[in-house]
A = this chain, B = another copy of it.
């Protein structure tokens, strides 16, 4: 069913019209005999882009995990490595559970950071790869090899990352070069070398605040230029861009724009965050993601990227309709641009990846986190009325 005509549909809240899908792509006309779906005047938005999550370690579907973890980042990292063993967490099953829930909420593309460490090796990568294969045609999953437990401090991790990239992982990950590895030079040299060797882009977690984060950012900038990787490096979280010293941040942001570094924000409300309107004004590609969903780090999150747009709006004080539309754009076109997804959108020629939502306007759909009536992936119906066509394991 990849030939469709959607009738009485409102693309991005515009006036009702008909849209055609031929061979899984939006088209000027549908082939004869295309199936017709009456959209009842609902709004069509492009498929939601989950540009930062951790499919391998959600606890979805398991009995409640009572969180009694300490307050430091390293407490959470050490606890997680242990709990994976004590709970017998299966990355294949968990990633499938989370991905199916995301599809039900309208997600068509996921970038997942997947733990690579000397304790669990490549089990996470193998599990998410199996899910990726199983869900082909339902949701696209891109994998980042993510050294969650540190890389330089845990010898053998770089070799595992190298192996993961040889296996088909698409992106080189990294994590707090100063805060975790306490060696920005060695950490960043290692990940840029991996990127060089495999010809793959980089997406690095950067939780470091204020001046510590700026140092890491500057070192990332130096290497991005030296390796000619402009447009191929993403910094996730980037809390240091929310620092109070806006003059210092502005100087840094100008350099990020010039080096075409992308930013992915999860818009957490308890810390400083990049100001998305500033990033967009500078032309810095900006996406968003759910981060961890119901895991050992915390109980929150559900994979709903329409709700994430609301969080972006709340966190950035976006109240006007045009501002709320910007928040959604970060969760659609912004994330797609960061991930380099081709032919994305609702215009003829684009892949028919789209979500039908309730609401009078796009802003209302975001504010209500409106029910998803239908989700399409390449013109195929992947979810109806909030339920994925596949059952979770």
Contacts and interface: CB of A to CB of B under 8 A. Distances in A.
Interface of A: 63-64, 66-69, 244, 267-271, 294, 297-302, 310-311, 313-317, 319-322, 324, 360-361, 363-364, 366-368
A292 to B, nearest CB: 11
List 8 A-B pairs, minimum CB-CB distance, nearest first: A269-B269, A270-B317, A299-B367, A298-B319, A64-B360, A269-B315, A269-B314, A67-B320
A316 B270 contact: yes
Contacts of A298: 319
B324 A299 contact: yes
B320 A69 contact: yes
B361 A66 contact: yes
Contacts of A302: 368
Given A67-B319, A269-B269, A300 B294 contact: no
A300 B321 contact: no
Main secondary structure on chain A at its contact with chain B?
loop
B294 A367 contact: yes
A360 B60 CA distance: 13
Please state the number of chain copies in the assembly: 2
Nearest to A64: B360
Nearest to A267: B269
Nearest to A310: B300
18 contacts: A64-B364, A67-B363, A68-B321, A68-B322, A69-B320, A244-B244, A269-B311, A270-B314, A270-B315, A270-B316, A294-B367, A297-B319, A298-B319, A299-B324, A299-B367, A300-B313, A300-B314, A300-B367
Contacts of A316: 270
Given A69-B320, A244-B244, A299-B367, 20 more contacts: A63-B360, A64-B364, A66-B361, A67-B319, A67-B320, A67-B363, A68-B320, A68-B322, A69-B319, A269-B311, A269-B315, A271-B317, A294-B367, A297-B319, A298-B319, A299-B321, A299-B324, A299-B364, A300-B310, A301-B367
Nearest to A311: B269
Nearest to A69: B320
Contacts of A271: 317
A64 B367 CA distance: 11
